[in-house]
Amino acid sequence: MKKTHLLAILVIGVAIAIIMSTAGDASTYVTFDQAHEMAAAGNTNSIHVVGELKKDARGQIIGLEKSPDNLSFSFVLLDEARREQTVFYNEPMPPDFTRSEKIVVIGGYQGDHFIANKILLKCPSKYQEQKLNAGV
Amino acid sequence: MLHYFIGNLGHFFVITSFVAGLAASFTYWRATLAGELHLQNQWLTNGRVAFVTHGVAVVGIIVTLFVIIYRHYFEYHYAYSHSSLHLPGQYMISCFWEGQEGSFLLWMFWHVVIGLVLIRNRQSWEAPVMTIFSLVQAFLASMILGVVIPGLDLKIGSSPFILLRDAMNDPIFALQPNFIPKDGNGLNPLLQNYWMVIHPPTLFLGFALTLVPFAFAIAGLWQRQYVEWIKPALPWTLLGGAVLGLGILMGGYWAYETLSFGGYWNWDPVENAVYVPWLVLIASHHTMLIYKNNKTALRLSFVLVLSVFILILYSTFLTRSGILGDASVHSFTDLGLSGQLLLYLLFFTVGAIILAVMRWKEVPFSEKEVGTYTGEFWIFLGAATLCLMGFQVLVPTSIPVYNKIVEIFGGRSNLAPPANQVEFYSKIQLWFAAVVALLSGTAQFFWWKKMDRAAIKQEIVSPLLITLILFALLLLTSRITNPSFMVLAIAGLYIVVSNAKVLYRTWKLNPKLSGGALAHIGLGLMLIGILYSAGYSKVVSLNNTGLLYNRDMGTEFNRDNLLLFVNEPRTMGGYDIEFLGERLEPVNKRGYVKRRDVEETMDPFKVIARRDIMFKSNKLYSAKDTFDIYPENTFYEIQLSREGKVVATLFPRVQQNPAMGGILPSPDIRRNLDRDLYTHVSAPMNREAEPEWSKVEELRVKPGEKFFVNDYVAILEKVQRITELPGVRLTDEDVAVKIIIQVQGEHDTFTLEPAFLIRNREEVGRVPDESGELGIKISLLNIYPDANEFLLGLQTRQKDWVIIKAMEKPLINILWLGTGLLMIGFSVAMVRRFRE
């Protein structure tokens, strides 16, 4: 067998290993119920949950609580199955947090608490905004 | 008055550029196929005229759009969305690339410039290469065409020249069709940065340059000139590698300086989307070199060169189609161009694959076995590693695409990108980088000399020894314990040492040949710089107040953020750190102004000095001066000291632009030779929310009397009759007085001036004065002229605060130094190849 063939096989082998490891490390989008089941089954992988903040009839956000020193906060997130869950986040509240229309939390359950390691915010972008808001 | 003409002119240019691009492609295609020389020349002339027309139209679009932005024609959507009256002139250029349309324009512009250079230079390749160029241009022009095909209701492209009223459904346009907003939305504050003026043009020049080798490779396949295309394509590949690499690093540097995620690289899909083509571009450059030297790896060169441009198209599709959605923080929003972008991607991908498959058998293939003791073998391995390195990033970045494809076929896939991107990519990329460094360090020896087993042993012993000695020194000075970091450090040192040896040798021979060695040394330094600045980045703002965060969660978390009250020093990572208050930035002078030293006016961009304003013992303004500020920007003066001596004063910034939706913190960086100290605001105090004041405490004081308020010593200095009161019109009947109270703060003396007003002899008005830095508010409740006493109302609140995060980035300057060397290396090599 020629050396080039050996190399080609090696490259393909590494490529397959890469795909396998990606599949292994990839996270998933789940609901809180699924995440809870996963955690109960001993799966400690971080998962993504997409949801929005809980609001009352007048559009006020409910359940947002900052720690006394402002360094961490917790909030109530409604996932896509409308199940609510208090999420703890160990960082100061991002300034745009309350304006966001959609929130992705990345983290997992520790006991009954959902701890977020990272939060992604989808804020209303000015492209989608169909209202003039300056100089009117 | 709406300015219709300029928009129509711009749209005319857009259509011209599209049609001329198609025409140029067609005529160049005919020129390629024309057998007879005179016919070919006729078609060539036509092609040139069409391409130049196209170029003029592209420049026309840019000039018209710039005039619209520069003249503030807010009736146009582009000007309204991306600019404002107060936008400083130099950033008006950045408005172009805030929107997708402008960045397409930028890309087209560079293609035009490169196309014109190619037309001047390459007579024999002109026709087929320019066919590809013009076709790409037609595709790009279609993205900004903004034409609706009647009957089909199909919109092609998004024009930058649409009027605001056509872009937005605001009810005001039903009432007043000619309504023009007074001011625009403004430019995203993140883009108001000099790096954002030069980073996108550099990056897009890099994008544009990848088209050149692609076009040559396609032309080579098409015209069956399977080997001749390498020579003209090689220098362009080098130029592309240099410019694209520089563009990527500029982006990283901008992120480091402006964004506050704490570094220069975040493995965000948008970053990955340009990183992958760059790696493959570098790999393709190396296989082309192998071919030049040894006549092998020609087929691989074809595959890689074609892949680079296809990957660029793929990255364009990823970042602009909106498919990344939740996965990326900063991709463009969907303009409804996904279909067109997909067509653009598929057209060239499928076209290139079909052409390559058809001609595959004809491409010369060397049956020669590659010897282990040749440079080609090692370079080949390196190129393969680079491609795998790119592949490892490409696969997870494409997860959203994979989900979409599953969805199209009716399935459901809930795969998400790795939860911790930085860790996921770094841990594997690090090994690939180490392998690349070891391979390229070794390959250099073979490249310049024929080697056998004995010779290589002799050659490699001394660099290996020096590497190990340096590594031992490194271990002594900085305790590296992580085994993978050790491997990367050794590999980084090895590539530097071995290439230093090669550099010494080639320099003596001919300095013009030293490009490769320089670039590889640069790469080694970059690896070491990245290893330290990212791997050993240390949070120094660890919270040591002993407060438990949240009883529910225990204390297992690292407390990376620090709450600072104004003028209350804390200790942090060996520093004493103190927040000294909020600062504003004057437009026309260098320095910072204390917020309490100025009075706001009706115009948010103008303030009046309350007293003489000093900055670092320079007098900036005298009392009562009116001057311009940037109201969006607040700076937080943070002083770091060690053993009583001030080490650094940092001014991290927070930008607030409600129209752009948000609050954006940017770091301030204290640059030392061996490490950067990087500080950013994690959470500013919200001034809009009413601070909670304590209950009013009453106190009677005489002039000259000392009293305590919030534990500060205060003295009522004197009473003054006043004739003006901000916001109140005083008549002769009215009596207004203010008392002047001096409060001794930690560093400065503060003056508070509450006022008291009697209107029409009966109504009483009180104007309290407050200081957030002291946390006090004083009002003058009553005056007892007989006793010469004043009744004060004293209130207190939490003092002003800010939450910051601070990090140390060791040896980051090695990374920048390495970048510089890499670029010099590229330039030296390029000059040599262009001269050939």
Shortest CA gap A55–chain B (Å): 20
Helix, strand and coil content of chain B, in percent to the nearest 5, comes to: 50, 20, 30
The candidate with the shortest Cα–Cα distance to B263, out of B655, B539, B533, B560, is B533
**Total count of domains within chain A:** 1
What is the model's pLDDT at position B326? 61
Q: Are A119 and A104 in contact (CB under 8 A)?
A: yes
pLDDT interval class at B414 (50, 70, 90): confident
pLDDT interval class at B689 (50, 70, 90): low
What is the model's pLDDT at position B317? 92
Residue B717 has pLDDT above 70, yes or no: yes
| φ, ψ at B799 (rounded to 5°) | -70, 165
Residue in A closest to B546 by C-alpha: A69
User: What is the average pLDDT across B379-400?
Assistant: 94
- Residue A86, in any domain of the structure: yes
What is the model's pLDDT at position B299? 92
Q: What is the DSSP letter of B402?
A: H
CB contact under 8 A, B553 and A127: no
CA-based radius of gyration for chain B:
33
User: What is the average pLDDT across B117-138?
Assistant: 92
The candidate with the shortest Cα–Cα distance to B793, out of B803, B780, B805, is B780
Question: Distances from the Cα of B440 to the Cαs of B296, B377, B443, B833, in angstroms?
Answer: 18, 11, 5, 20
- Residue A21, in any domain of the structure: no
The candidate with the shortest Cα–Cα distance to B776, out of B713, B685, B693, B689, is B693
Highest mean pLDDT among B139-143, B253-257, B407-411, B718-722 belongs to B139-143
pLDDT interval class at B661 (50, 70, 90): low
What is the model's pLDDT at position B556? 42
Q: What is the pTM of this model?
A: 0.90
User: What is the average pLDDT across B194-212?
Assistant: 93
Closest CB to A48: pick one of B369, B377, B416.
Answer: B416
pLDDT interval class at B245 (50, 70, 90): very high
CB contact under 8 A, A7 and B420: no
- Residue A130, in any domain of the structure: no
**AA identity, residue A31:** T
What is the model's pLDDT at position B227? 93
Q: Higher model confidence: residue B750 or residue B283?
A: B283
Residues from chain A contacting residue B269 (CB–CB below 8 Å) = none
Closest CB to A126: pick one of B185, B417, B424.
Answer: B185
Residue B16 has pLDDT above 80, yes or no: yes
Q: 3-state secondary structure string, B266-318?
A: CCCHHHHHHHHHHHHHHHHHHHHHHHHHHCCCHHHHHHHHHHHHHHHHHHHHH
Placement of tokens 């990957």 in the chain: B311
What is the model's pLDDT at position B582? 92
Q: Which two tokens stand for residue B805?
A: 């995060």
Residue B559 has pLDDT above 80, yes or no: no
What is the model's pLDDT at position B659? 59
Residue B247 has pLDDT above 90, yes or no: yes
Residue B560 has pLDDT above 80, yes or no: no
What is the model's pLDDT at position B517? 93
Shortest CA gap A42–chain B (Å): 18
Q: Higher model confidence: residue B496 or residue B293?
A: B496
Residue in B closest to A17 by C-alpha: B392
Q: Which of B445-449, B742-746, B774-778 has the lowest mean pLDDT?
A: B445-449
What is the model's pLDDT at position B44? 93
CB contact under 8 A, B682 and A92: yes
- Residue A74, in any domain of the structure: yes
- Residue A54, in any domain of the structure: yes
Q: Are A51 and A80 in contact (CB under 8 A)?
A: yes
A·B CB contacts under 8 A:
157
What is the model's pLDDT at position B417? 85
Highest mean pLDDT among B151-155, B199-203, B362-366 belongs to B199-203
ipTM of the complex: 0.85
Residues from chain B contacting residue A48 (CB–CB below 8 Å) = 326, 416, 419
Domain of A87: which CATH number? 2.40.50.140
Residue B544 has pLDDT above 70, yes or no: no
Can you tell me the distance from the alpha carbon of B258 to that of B192, in angstroms, rounded to the nearest whole number? 9
Question: Distances from the Cα of B677 to the Cαs of B347, B533, B804, in angstroms?
Answer: 48, 11, 13
pLDDT interval class at B550 (50, 70, 90): very low
pLDDT cut 90: percent of chain B above it: 50
Q: Which residues lie across from B649 on neighbouring strands?
A: B639
- Residue A40, in any domain of the structure: yes
Highest mean pLDDT among B57-71, B94-108, B162-176, B438-452 belongs to B57-71
Residues from chain B contacting residue A14 (CB–CB below 8 Å) = 388
Residue B748 has pLDDT above 90, yes or no: no
Residue B551 has pLDDT above 60, yes or no: no
User: What is the average pLDDT across B330-348?
Assistant: 81
Residue B26 has pLDDT above 90, yes or no: yes
What is the model's pLDDT at position A102? 82
- Residue A2, in any domain of the structure: no
pLDDT interval class at B293 (50, 70, 90): confident
Q: Is B294 on the interface with A (CB under 8 A)?
A: no
Q: What is the DSSP letter of B690?
A: P
- b/e A114-133 (16+ beta carbons within 10 angstroms → b): bbbeebbbeeeebeeeeebe
The candidate with the shortest Cα–Cα distance to B790, out of B775, B800, B780, is B780
Strands A84-89 and A73-79 come out as: antiparallel
Residue B585 has pLDDT above 80, yes or no: yes
Q: Higher model confidence: residue B133 or residue B599?
A: B133
What is the model's pLDDT at position B660? 56
Residue B555 has pLDDT above 50, yes or no: no
Q: What is the mean pLDDT of chain B?
A: 88
What is the model's pLDDT at position A124? 56
- Residue A99, in any domain of the structure: yes
Domain extents in chain B: 1-187, 231-417, 450-536, 562-585+630-685+803-810, 697-799
User: What is the average pLDDT across B419-428?
Assistant: 89
Mapping DSSP to helix (H, G, I), strand (E, B) and coil, where does residue B814 land? helix
Reading chain A (136 residues) residue by residue, the pLDDT tens digits are: 577 788 889 999 999 999 988 888 888 888 999 998 888 888 878 888 988 888 888 888 888 888 777 778 889 999 888 899 999 888 888 777 877 778 889 888 887 888 888 888 776 544 344 445 433 3
Q: What is the DSSP letter of B554?
A: B
Range of the domain at A67: 28-122
Q: At a CB cut-off of 8 Å and minimum separation 6, what does B493 contact?
A: B467, B470, B471, B474, B524, B528
